[in-house]
Amino acid sequence: MELWTLTHSNPQHALDAAKRAEASGWHGLLVVDSQNLAGDSYVALTLAATGTARIGLGTGVTNSVTRHPAVTASAAMAVQTVSGGRMVLGIGRGDSALAHLGRSPARFAGFVSYVEVLQKYLRGEAVAFDEFPVPDTMAAPVADLELADHPTESRIRWVKGDLPKVPVEVAATGPKVIAMAGRLADRVMFTLGAVPERIQWGMKVARESRRAAGLDPEAQRYGAYVNLVCHEDMAVARALVRGGLTTFARFSVMHGNVSGPASVSDREVFQQLHDGYDMKAHTRADSNQAMLLTDEFIDRFAIAGPPEHVIERLQALQSLGLDKIVISGPTAGVDRSEARTAMTLADEVVLPQFV
């Protein structure tokens, strides 16, 4: 099982983080894509690629609204070229990137269409203009110019060489997106927490979707985003992980209904998080929403505690058939000294168990 780390996309930070991650033995590094809160993710990944030789690189995650799929595909292919084939394209329906444009996550039907078209671009295939049209209110058809000739289809034409296709990993929480990802993604990346029965539920949904589509239900690959902090003091570990957990837990109740199996007490926390989430304090451990998480909820949905506990929980997820875990560690609003201690423990004690 590969362990990847997640960080923000300010370019110099991403370069430094990628160098540290590669030196420590991490399999890969993902950067967020939230244009109002951090630098451009593809600039960050390109810079990270130039300063590393082995580590995987990717978005964690981009969305289907802020860029046309041709733009996303071309950017991902550029990083693939610069990195020598180390790029992974993580995509979801969007959260903070859209909130800071006054929008909620992408509508499901449009998201499906985007992923379908994105995969065609990444495979080097032609895309008809009407498969993902630019609205006429933004730009009239090129045919209206009455040129002597013009493109009649869309295709990424600049890529040369034999690098592998950029894999697409769909971040998925609800049953509709999980089912779609099972059919269309190269890997389904669950955002369901570190709860085995929830992961098993997600895998069942994805496999049933593949079977119904005539695809091999056992051929799909699965991973998960997990909030994880390794610290000898359980109380400190919980304090360090709670900010990031608010963001990921909220995905399970984004529109008010809880996705996946959950106990009565968990549902109560989910509902309080839905009603009390402040996007202006997104991911912060010192936010009001972070205080809504109970210790029991944190212990169940995150992995927080001493190294032996963290390793055991990760191995339990591995035994389910996950081959990739993306770890979100301490976030803003925490004691930075304690955060460094936790990150060092993860690097030196936890990571070696999986490399």
Q: Domain coordinates of the chain in residue numbers?
A: 1-141+157-166, 223-355
Can you list the alpha helix ranges (DSSP code H) found in the chain? 11-24, 41-50, 69-83, 96-99, 108-122, 175-184, 196-212, 234-250, 264-276, 295-301, 307-318, 336-345
Instruction: Report residue 355's pLDDT band, with 50, 70 and 90 as the boundaries.
Output: confident
Q: Each residue of 87-143: pLDDT tens digit?
A: 999 999 999 999 999 999 999 999 999 999 999 999 999 999 999 999 999 999 999
> Cα(303)–Cα(299) distance, rounded to whole angstroms?
6
Pick the closest to residue 222 from 251, 196, 257 (CA basis): 196
What is the CATH code for 1-141+157-166?
3.20.20.30
Q: Determine the Cα–Cα distance for residues 60 and 243; give it in Å rounded to an integer.
A: 17
* Residue positions counted in the chain: 355
How high is the pLDDT of residue 85?
Answer: 98
Domains 1-141+157-166 and 223-355 share a fold: yes
What per-residue confidence (pLDDT) applies to 282? Answer: 96
Q: Is the pTM of the predicted complex or chain greater than 0.95?
A: yes
- Note the CATH number of domain 223-355: 3.20.20.30
Task: Write down the mean pLDDT value for the chain.
Answer: 97
Tokens describing residue 238: 């919980």
CA distances from 354 to 7, 57, 90, 218 (A): 20, 18, 22, 23
Question: Which pLDDT score, from 0 to 100, does residue 38 have?
Answer: 97
Tens of pLDDT, residues 304-329? 999 999 999 999 999 999 999 999 99
pLDDT band with cut points at 50, 70 and 90 for residue 79: very high
- For the segment 193-248, what is each residue's pLDDT rounded down to a tens digit? 999 999 999 999 999 999 999 999 999 999 999 999 999 999 999 999 999 999 99
Helical spans, DSSP H, in 25-156: 41-50, 69-83, 96-99, 108-122
* pLDDT of residue 340 exceeding 90: yes
Q: How would residue 332 be classed by pLDDT, with cut points 50, 70 and 90?
A: very high
Looking at residue 161, what is its pLDDT?
Answer: 84
Give percent of the chain above pLDDT 70. Answer: 100
d(CA 55, CA 35): 24
Whether residue 4 contacts residue 30, with contact meaning beta carbons closer than 8 Å, is answered with: yes
